Amino acid sequence: MRSRSNSGVRLDGYARLVQQTILCHQNPVTGLLPASCDQKDAWVRDNVYSILAVWGLGLAYRKNADRDEDKAKAYELEQSVVKLMRGLLHCMIRQVDKVESFKYSQSTKDSLHAKYNTNTCATVVGDDQWGHLQLDATSVFLLFLAQMTASGESGGCVHPGPKRAMLLRLLHRPLLAPQDVLRDCQTYTMPSQWSQEKPGRLFPLQKSTFLGSNAS
């Protein structure tokens, strides 16, 4: 039997620490993490930042795997990350109409909620009962969703589907300043089914899309 390398032993120690402090609190159904033992709601920002430790450890296991057990551990950690990111995406998909309305109203009542029910992915407070307009939380989710996908997360965080594709397209627009929209129009091509621009739209969609022209 081969002995464990020094790096492998250290990774095992980090894995135990991650399990005891983060993964033991992950909801087995939604994949979301509660804010604390007393506060059971799942905050978008807190969930993304918390799961980064798991993602980084999974990448380290994948890079330094010297046994089959290490590869299995890497896969297990990566799937925990995928589960959480899909859980957050599911929360946002349930509010996709709200994102579209935000383009017209620019109202905080039409912004994506900042926290959700850990067990059901449902909203926990009303639109006007919390400061939901937290673009930094939505931005950090999109940033690391893209980075995790680029790193080759096993299984991918996003299944193909019109709702997810539409959500990502819609999220792309409010996060950009008008000059950025004009710049991006030189790069992307809008699919034909998205080509009808509605009067009064603050961020026109006729030429640009987050996922590109092949997204479904």
* Same domain for 24 and 104: yes
Q: Which domain holds residue 211?
A: 176-216
Domain boundary among 113, 132, 160: 160
Confidence at residue 201, expressed as pLDDT on a 0 to 100 scale = 35
* Same domain for 32 and 125: yes
Domain count, the chain: 2
Residue 200 to residue 55: CA distance in whole angstroms: 41
- Asked, for residue 61, whether it belongs to a domain, the answer is yes
- Asked, for residue 24, whether it belongs to a domain, the answer is yes
Confidence at residue 195, expressed as pLDDT on a 0 to 100 scale = 38
* Same domain for 95 and 31: yes
* Same domain for 132 and 208: no
What DSSP string describes 81-96?
HHHHHHHHHHHHHTTH
- Asked, for residue 1, whether it belongs to a domain, the answer is no
* Same domain for 144 and 201: no
* Same domain for 117 and 37: yes
- Regions of the chain where pLDDT drops below 50: 1, 154, 174-216
* Same domain for 155 and 59: yes
The structure's pTM equals: 0.71
- β-strand partners of 43: 115
Q: Are 29 and 120 in contact (CB under 8 A)?
A: no
